[in-house]
Structure 1
Amino acid sequence: MDHDQNYKNLILDYPREALAFFAAAEAQAIDAGARIVPVREEQLKERLGERFRELDVPLLVEWSDGRRSAILFVLEEETDPKRFSIHRLAHYCLDLAELFDTERLVPVVIFLHPGSYPEQLRLGSENRDYLHFSYLSSALFATPANQYLDSPNIVARLTLPCMDFAPEDKLAIYAAATRGLMELEPNPERRLKYADFIDIYTALDDNELKRYQQDYAEENKAMTALSVRFTEKGIQQGMQLGRQEGRQEGRQQGEAELLLRQISRKFGPQVAQQHEAQIRQAALDSLEHWADAILSAESPDELFE
């Protein structure tokens, strides 16, 4: 699973909210008049060459009225603390500071899993330090989820499953993240995109999913309705693609992909994985039948009978 890319997308889709949550100590001055601009990868690749790091996210914060000098935030997600290199991060920050001709730079590291990692780097002798480097650490695994259950910050709500909570609260955390998505994100396509994000990091098993559907019927109904809407839209797009290409393959692939999404949401990702090969190899009429049947099917056996 590409956690780096998942978090990069999250930060790029919600840069203001990401800074407010992951870099709260430095983000207080970012008011409504500030403009947050993701630094283009092409610019970094051209100027940094091999030193370019694709999955880090530099965000430039500017004030058009000149009240404050621009400041560069560098956000890095680190799934496994053992892989984190403070030397590499320091190198990268120095490169960016030179590239943008600035001394105003804030490095932020988001840790998903517990482990040991250096919090600062000091180079020098017994007489004095000649280089001191540190960064803002956002340890999601140690962040109390119950403090953000009703947060108005969508990044905080979406990352609830990555925070610290008791195992018996798992379904409540999933529900709070889902409610946050529905309340704070008006765009239907982003809702569907980050419903998948929540699913990935909550990782409900089949039994937990059934309990969730029973205990949180309202939240489940809202997300199911959204999935159905996009299933229908995807089928239409698949049909159009098939017509454009003069063959059925586009439609078949579109229906298969969306049916797998529906099965994952209704019966759990394990069921979707078990039937993935069958679905991808199925004829179009079978896919159409299953797409209709899943709306009323109570079990995978009933769906595929």
Structure 2
Amino acid sequence: MSELLHVSASPHVRAKTTVRQMMWDVILALMPATIFGVYRFGWYAALVILVTVAACVLTEYIFEKGMKRPVTISDGSAVITGLLLALNMPPEIPVWIPVIGGIFAVLVVKQLFGGLGQNFMNPALAARCFLLISFAGHMTDFAVDGISSATPLAALKAGESVDVLAMFAGNISGTIGEVSVVAILLGALYLVIRRVITLWIPVTYIGSFAVFVLIFGGHGADWTYLAAQLCGGGLMLGAWFMATDYVTSPITTGGKVLFGLLLGVLTGVFRIFGPSAEGVSYAIIIGNMLVPLMEKITVPRAFGRKGGKADGR
């Protein structure tokens, strides 16, 4: 009988899944978008991916060794950071730029705040925003083999027509990992089946953005325009792989819904009313900073409490 009376701190129910298993599930889920990106843009894109991942892993290893901390590169978190950052790079960007981004992501955004689980914003997206500000020309140059072409979102912003089917399949200009909606959705399906992510954030994000576009996009119920907005840019990659980051997204169900709604509205504001055709990265970063507030207002009340004070006082 005494064996049933152990006293311990919560959580009392633990899953068998480890952080390492979840991280490598995400890496596996990113493989369709990664492989398609290399197929679409060539071996230089593969070089960008490899160099960016190496920069992130080496930065984490050197920092933890230098600070005499346990080396955590085997958990896969640095690999994910490098892979996501690389997939958000133009296909022919000089490799030293994503290297700087990888160092910034791991050293400044992740390790200086205490390492995995302590960073308050997504390291890959924070690094992408840093690079967009620092090297705007390179980060917005989507030329392939010396041939420059506007991204579908830029064409939409200019009032031009786009090929939605090509956007869905991936035969368009853009960053290495964002062009093929099919490849991204395949990876997302794997994460949902493996229960690595839930549908709350991505569905709320994409749905609220769609409603915003229908109301404020200036095209009414133009379903072709809406489909182009949904398939274009980093919306799908961001909604399924970056907004769902465990560390920088809410843990409460209500918080997840609020988070998704905020991201949808912010992305809509940036795309429709802002000077740029994109806005996913900045929307998620801003949302990351508001996560503590969302969790505070959506945390379930303890049973037997009302108005913040115990009943029957």
Q: Flag the structure with larger Rg.
A: 1
Return the structure number with greater strand share. 1
Question: Higher RCO, 1 or 2 (CA under 8 Å, sep at least 6)?
Answer: 2
